[in-house]
Structure 1
Amino acid sequence: KIVTLESERKGFLKERDTAAAKLEEIKGSVVFHSDKIREARADRAHFESQLQRDADSVPVNKLSVKGVPDGADVKTIAARLQEISEKARTEGEYNKIGEIYGFPVMVKTESTAKDLFDCSVNRFFVQGRSGILYTYNNGRLAADPKLACQNFLNALERIPKVIETHERELAKVKEQIPVFEAAASGVWRKEDELRTLKRNAAELDRKIALSLAPPTPPEKEEQAADKNVVEKENGARLPQADRVEHDAASRVVIGKVKWRRTT
């Protein structure tokens, strides 16, 4: 039973460690989504405070692109964006190419494999004030000039959806916290039972070892005891010098001398 309990205990501790690691991961997710919600809300507030609308309440596209003069028409801006899309090579970095309502407009070159050939694709983003990257149409520009220029305004208008996504994920991970907290702080309830079994087993082993040891014969015990008593008494009665002689004499063996007759 000890082996069974040891195995059960090992499995319990492993599951508890796994739960503790998962709990830390969940807490990290809570921090991540909470931060993104706060940052996106700040971006939304800034965007709404800067947004301009025309007479029909339609948002005005305040996009500016490097290399294009202010006041240029949609076709000119779209042509420049198309040129950037075809020729830019950022080597995986985010490069600023313009601005819209105070938010940087960025492009990034990504390498993809298609039909066994490596090719580069440029994606466009609007960068939030805290670094969140907002996209529309997965960062790809439309062929139509007006829609291509509208891409970045559409990306900013998706900020509320970004907030909703992080809020939903935050609620989901928070639901898991009590479950993993309980698992990570669990106590194995059979610890005392295992400790008692081990103690009893050790005591039993000791008794078995004693029972298997060869007993000392009573006669030899009595002889050894008598000899020790006599030696102690003799040693106590003799002076120290005599004890030495006595000890030496006690080791001398005296035998009979046999005489050989000669003829």
Structure 2
Amino acid sequence: MAQHSFPRDSATRPAAGRARLAIVTAEPRPGVLAPLLKRLRRARPWLAERTVVLDAAAEADLADVRLVLFVLPPALEARDPAAWAGARRIALKADTHWIPVLNRPGGARTTRRLGGGGPDSREGHPPGSLFARLHHRKRAFVLNGEVMNGELLLSASGVFTPSASIFAGRIGKRRLRREARAADQAYFDAAPEATPALAQAARGHGLDFASVEFCMTPQGQARPTRIEPIGELGGTLALAARRRGVKARIERLLDRYAEALEAVFLAELEAGVPGRSAA
């Protein structure tokens, strides 16, 4: 993450007039938005004070805005076409006034499932091992080019939904679930894999902040199978939450999300381009 010389406490905020960060959302608000705003208020109060939340369906006032981030609910185009159209108008208005846009609407209208299920992830692993017995994918979070490991997706059937997960209820034997939790924790604690490939995949779908599910090919390359904006903090991530330490994972995600967002905003303040705000 880029380092900046600006102080980060609320008493000595960066001086850049009334420069603001605009977060555009719509109802129902994605589950990540409220905790992200709370994290900004707690850890980066100077940025929280400069943040304004805009309704995608309303006329947007972009006066003094230096950066726009879209945090939209899934399938908004189908669920609320008016809000979707409004989000697109806000993005175009930002473009007109040279305001950078993150997670541009149109690049990620819905969850992207890519190229089928990919290769059988069990192949090539030692017989009897966890990864030879269970289908598996990896989930990582892309945060403006940085990558953070999220969780292992493990399934006996090859279907990667919460109900089919090895962590759901009593699916699988106790020993297998214990082994699966250990592998899941090891992945979360490990260094991120294939950072350039995952960041490029997210960027190719118009996303700066994204959740990417992927498998590794026998050649050691990351193959994304699902790309979507970071939205709900539930699904498979919420399964066996206490034993998997999910609360700590979400805390880390929110910290990294806030840090990455702050870095982009600070870079815009450093750029100091005049006349970039819009009424």
Q: Under a length normalisation based on structure 2, what TM-score does the superposition of the two structures give?
A: 0.22
Structure number with higher strand proportion? 2
Please give the TM-score of this superposition, normalised by the length of structure 1: 0.23
Larger CA Rg, structure 1 vs 2 = 1
